[in-house]
Amino acid sequence: MVEEKKLIKGLSSKDAEKRQKSFGLNELSEKKKISMFKIFLSQFNDFMVWVLIGATIISGIMGEKADAITILIIIIINAILGFVQEYKTEKSLDALKSLAAPTCKVYRDGNITVINAKYLTVGDIVILEAGDRIPADGEILECTSLMVDESLLTGESVGISKSLRENENSLYMGTTVLKGKGLLQITAIGMNTKMGEIANLLQDIEDEKSPLKERLDSLGKILVILCIVICALVTVVGILRGNELTEMFLLGVSLAVAAIPEGLPAIVTVALALGVSRMLKKNSLVRKLPAVETLGCISVICSDKTGTLTQNKITVKEVYMNGKVYNLDKDILPQNSLMMKSFILCNDCNYDFNERNIDKALYGDPTETALIKMYFKDINLLKAFTSNTRRVYDIPFDSNRKMMSVIVRENGKESCYVKGAPEKLLERSSYIYENGRIKPLTYQKKQQIIASVNSMSERALRCLAAAYKDESLERSEELEKNLIFIGFVGSIDPPRPEVKDAVLKCKLAGIRPIMITGDHKNTAFAIAKDLNICNTLEQVLTGEEIEVLSDKELSKMVTKIRVFARVSPNHKLRIVKAFRKNGHIVSMTGDGVNDAPAIKEADIGISMGISGTDVTKEASSMILMDDNFRTIVDAIEEGRVIYDNIRKFIRYLLSCNLGEVLTMFLASLFYLPNPLSPIQILFVNLATDGLPAIALGMDPPDSDIMRQRPREKSEGIFARGLTEKILVRGSLIGILTLISFLVGMNYGWSLETCRTLSLATLVMSQLIHVFECRSERHSIFEIKLFTNPFLVGAVAISITMLVAILYVPALSAIFHTTALNFGQWLLVLFFSGIIAIINSIYLYIKVKR
Ligand code: ATP
């Protein structure tokens, strides 16, 4: 095997580049992208906006030309804001798509490199392993036990065996490797593949609609109808009272445009997309937008142990052989070439013999590299050791079987070497090799070995045994019978230092961390206890124990369990189902091809960015770029933050819009003059709805966000009193704005001044309320103002706009405003701030209590 690895060179980078130029990229042609111009035009794709434009043009022709032009300018500025939002969302989604792009392992310039699959070209040699998605069409050069799933092409989901035989040697793009491994020479790429012919079948990963957005879309429709009815009422009452027809019509339409929260679904997408890019900075890649919402509901995190809770930096510490335990830090290990051969030759590590540093020269699973490093510090010695050996057959490692076997030819003689979980090898061994002699493996001997395994696992060591045989070397699973047991090693894999804190954080947030591992019960327990995931052995359940439980029994039991040990991937599926049956929202991690069903079943399936296979990645809704448990907890926190922020700006937008509509509605109800002109209404909409709402979407989390219980998945966005908050606050904004108008009238100020007063009160009420919306549990006094600089900036811009239309003569002429004096400003600040202050004092006292 090693000899062959050296012979394969693959294409040179230069040659590959040339071929890419002539064959193109390995891509299926995509649907045409929407152009920037179309995105801009789509901003006007709204019935009410067209009515407003129509009404404006009519009123422009009939008189107020300056008004008409200003309204059109405001409409255009609004469209630009909408365009920027949508364009940003598109861009960040595109960036995510390219990050999620599939990769593949190829030989280039004689080295194995991982490349983006789109740069694969005809003639490339690709290395395939279980779980890989086949990146292009090709012919098999070499393979062992290769089985692929071609259901994407044939519709039949049965594994198909592949070999070098003529009818079995073709592999197709988009199909997946279920078992075994091989080398594939690429013969067709991109649209020339079989997949290219049916390119549209490929699923698009990002286009799923978020359920929240869908719900908001339908809420939006109801609000539109409600707004139109109220605005029509205001218009009709105004006309009946003898106001000018065009003026009233324009007012009604302006009010409708201002009050309809048309931006809501767009801001939700922006908030989700921004959250997704923030999550990416913290190493979690969300593949499906709706997952962001679900993240905040997670109540159980099922996590793999190796590499996720632990560092996956494995070092062999102890060796059991010849009936004794050797500690590698103290003892000198006796020569045992059979154990050495089992661990080195029954090993899938790749080597780079040009690299002198052994740490850099080995590529592969840390469990396997640790075994090589236990014997070799010098790569040249490893080269010499393996140079006369050639692997002629293998049964690959599989986490269900927990072992692997090879037949190796050395100097014309074949031997079988096996490594795997000690109890699996003991089950299959009839003899034991001790002190140079082969003896029958007696019951007592087995018990002695099991006791040693237990003792090492209790000290958190991960055990791996070796066995061999020289006779009856069948090329089938029969190979793994009547083995000669050699011994086993115990390795440490230290927990990740950051995990302890993350576990504590989970517990405070009402989330249950669960360890799921293929490892030994004792090893799992020792590590889980160290990480505070569990306290007693009663909280540990093994795969064997799961086997004898019915689904019903398992779901009854599962809530008491914190660690699942020696489980196989198929148990994971039952575990997810059991937790879900108890009403939990479950996230499940996985890396191997067999984990895909459990990942699909979980509410949030999480795959590993480093060690995960393509199949698990595609089944998952989130990829952990660093395989780290803490990243899951960070992502959940971010999910909660995003959901909270969406609630924040929904609260803000709806109560503000309610305030606007109510001001006008109450005025018409009580036969008062209109407190705002159409152009002023549109100004309020421009100054308060856009930037402050977006800035709220970027709000940092409440300090106690991870001290709250997870949200119920069925909970609506308006739950926990949000509707009441919106109704009460919105009404108060409307009533106080109207009162400010009345106060002005009472003083006998001109209609222009009174309108300016209500305009300023309405704008300022909203700009103060936006800070209240930052927290549902804390008062304005407790929220640190500058933790959201975007919001401070957005509010500053809005205030500047207000001041400008009041004090710049040219603008005040357009907006029909007057310059308010000091006393009038005091009135404005009183009416806009009083409720916020009362409310904050109430909240402050409540929290203090
Ligand atoms: P986790 O599920 O948390 O990742 P794990 O890595 O121990 O834990 P598996 O990879 O399924 O789980 O391994 C299960 C057992 O199989 C290990 O405890 C070990 O005894 C054995 N094993 C692991 N890797 C290999 C390998 N490369 N070759 C042979 N046996 C292995």
For 480-511, give the DSSP string: GSSEEEEEEEEEE-PBPTTHHHHHHHHHHTT-
Both structure tokens of 315: 């070092």
Phi, psi of 239, deg, nearest 5: -65, -45
Which of 344, 519, 616 most suits a substitution to test ligand 1, by most atoms within 8 Å of the C-beta?
519
Structure tokens at 838: 């009362």
* Best residue among 129, 301, 302, 306 to mutate for probing ligand 1, ranked by most atoms within 8 Å of CB: 306
**pLDDT value of position 5:** 43
CATH class of 13-25+105-192: mainly beta
Tens digit of each residue's pLDDT (9 = 90 or more) over 183-202: 999 999 988 888 777 654 43
Q: In the predicted model, is pLDDT for residue 470 greater than 70?
A: yes
Residue 347 Cβ contacting ligand 1 at under 6 Å: no
Please state, in angstroms and rounded to a whole number, the distance separating the CA atoms of residues 284 and 798.
35
* Domain covering 212-279+636-848 in this structure, CATH number: 1.20.1110.10
Q: What tokens were used for 79?
A: 């469209």
Report the distance separating Cα 321 and Cα 342, nearest Å: 13
The residues pairing with 320 across neighbouring beta strands, listed in sequence order, are 325, 488
Q: Collapsing DSSP states into helix, strand and coil, what is residue 105? A: strand
> What pLDDT score was predicted for residue 170?
92
Closest to 741 measured CA to CA, from 615, 625, 827: 827
Q: What is the pLDDT of residues 649-678, one digit of tens each?
A: 899 999 999 999 999 889 988 888 889 998
Quick one: tokens of 130? 């279980």
Q: Is the pLDDT of residue 215 over 80?
A: no
Does ligand 1 come within 6 angstroms of the Cβ of 566? no
> Which pLDDT score is estimated for 30?
58
Q: Which of 5, 4, 24 is nearest to 122 (CA)?
A: 24
d(CA 309, ligand 1 centre) in Å: 14
CA 737 to chain centroid: 44
CB of 420 closer than 6 A to ligand 1?
yes
Q: Round to whole Å and give the CA distance between 718 and 216.
A: 11
At 566 the three-state DSSP class reads coil
Q: Check residue 32 and give its pLDDT.
A: 57
CB-count burial class (<10 Å; 0-12, 13-18, 19+) for 608 = buried
For ligand 1, whether the C-beta of 522 sits within 6 Å is no
Considering the chain, what is the average pLDDT of its residues? 87
User: In this model, does residue 174 exceed pLDDT 90?
Assistant: no
Ligand 1 pocket check: which of 312, 428, 464 to mutate, most ligand atoms within 8 Å of Cβ?
Answer: 464
Which ligand 1 atom minimizes the distance to the CA of 399? Answer: 11
**Does 589 sit in the ligand 1 pocket, CB within 6 Å?**
no
Which range, 5-14, 248-257, 553-562, has the best average confidence (pLDDT)?
Answer: 553-562
* Residue minimizing CA distance to atom 5 of ligand 1: 518
Tokens 């050395």 belong to 410
Query: What pLDDT, on a 0 to 100 scale, did the predictor assign at position 203?
Result: 39
Q: In this predicted model, what pLDDT tens digit does every residue of 702-732 receive, in sequence order?
A: 888 999 999 988 888 888 899 999 999 999 9
Q: Measuring from atom 14 of ligand 1, which residue has the nearest CA?
A: 518
- Given the residues 124, 304, 591, 634, the one annotated as active site: 304
**Bridge partners for 408 per DSSP:** 391, 415
> How many angstroms separate the alpha carbon of residue 402 from the centre of ligand 1?
6
Q: Which of the following CATH numbers is that of domain 299-311+496-626: 3.40.50.1000, 1.10.10.10, 1.10.287.950, 3.40.50.2000?
A: 3.40.50.1000
d(CA 830, CA 736): 10
* Rounded Cα–Cα distance for residues 184 and 132 (Å): 12
Q: Where are the domains of the chain?
A: 13-25+105-192, 33-99, 212-279+636-848, 299-311+496-626, 315-492
Give me 27's structure tokens: 């891509």
For residue 339, the CA-to-ligand 1 centroid distance in Å is 18
CATH C-level class of 315-492: alpha beta
CB 523 within 8 A of CB 457: yes
- Report DSSP state, residue 119: G
pLDDT of residue 723: 92
Whether 404 lines ligand 1, by a CB cut-off of 6 Å, is: yes
Q: Does 323 or 3 have the greater pLDDT score?
A: 323
Query: Which string of DSSP letters, residue by residue, matches 372-387?
Result: HHHH-S-HHHHHHHHT
Find out whether 251 and 235 touch, Cβ atoms under 8 Å: yes
Asked if residue 675 lies in contact with residue 754, where contact means CB atoms within 8 angstroms, the answer is yes
* Cβ-Cβ contacts under 8 Å for 484 (sequence gap 6 or more): 429, 430, 431, 432, 433, 438, 467, 468, 469
Residue 156 has pLDDT above 70, yes or no: no
Active site residue 304: yes
Q: Tell me, what's the pLDDT at 769?
A: 94
Q: Which of 363, 367, 540, 607 should be mutated for ligand 1, with most atoms under 8 A from CB?
A: 367
464 lines ligand 1 (CB under 6 A): yes
Query: Rounded to an integer, what distance in angstroms lies between the CA atom of residue 586 and that of residue 599?
Result: 10
pLDDT at 1 over 50: no
- From 551, 438, 542, select the one nearest 485 (Cα to Cα): 438
pLDDT interval class at 155 (50, 70, 90): low
For ligand 1, whether the C-beta of 421 sits within 6 Å is: yes
Could you say which DSSP state residue 560 is in? G
Q: What spacing in Å lies between the alpha carbon of 842 and ligand 1's midpoint?
A: 57
The CA dihedral of 447, 449, 455, 458, to the nearest 10 degrees, is -90
Cβ of 396 closer than 6 Å to ligand 1, yes or no, is no
Q: End-to-end alpha-carbon separation of the chain, Å?
A: 72
Q: Whose CA is nearest to atom 16 of ligand 1?
A: 402
Q: State how far the Cα of 127 lies from the Cα of 544, in Å rounded to an integer.
A: 35
For ligand 1, atom 30: residue with the closest CA: 420
Q: Is the CB of 403 under 6 A from ligand 1?
A: yes
**Does ligand 1 have an atom closer than 6 angstroms to the CB of 480?**
no
